[in-house]
């Protein structure tokens, strides 16, 4: 049977393991959100690039200084 000190040490170890799992989970969620946003931005940049190709040079206003 555990004595009081061993019980407290086991509680601390258990709590630390929980904290590490929670931090890993939070980090993974953040990285996944960043991955999704990067994918969205990449798709939007590709869409804009395709629109720019389609545009005629006459449609672009150029200012000469």
With CA atoms as reference, report the closest residue to 33 among 43, 21, 45, 25. 25
pLDDT computed for residue 42 by the predictor: 94
- 11-63: per-residue pLDDT in tens? 888 988 888 888 888 889 999 999 999 999 999 999 988 888 777 655 666 66
The pair of structure tokens assigned to 7 is 């019980």
Q: In this model, does residue 5 exceed pLDDT 80?
A: yes
The pair of structure tokens assigned to 46 is 């590709």
pLDDT computed for residue 17 by the predictor: 87
Distance CA 65, CA 61 (A): 13
pLDDT computed for residue 33 by the predictor: 95
């Amino acid at each position: 049977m555990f004595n009081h000190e061993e019980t407290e040490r086991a509680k601390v170890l258990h709590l630390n393991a929980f904290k590490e799992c929670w931090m890993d989970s939070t980090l993974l969620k953040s990285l996944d959100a960043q991955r999704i946003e990067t994918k969205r931005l990449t798709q939007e940049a590709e869409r804009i690039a395709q629109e720019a190709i389609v545009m005629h040079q006459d449609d672009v206003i150029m200012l000469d200084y």
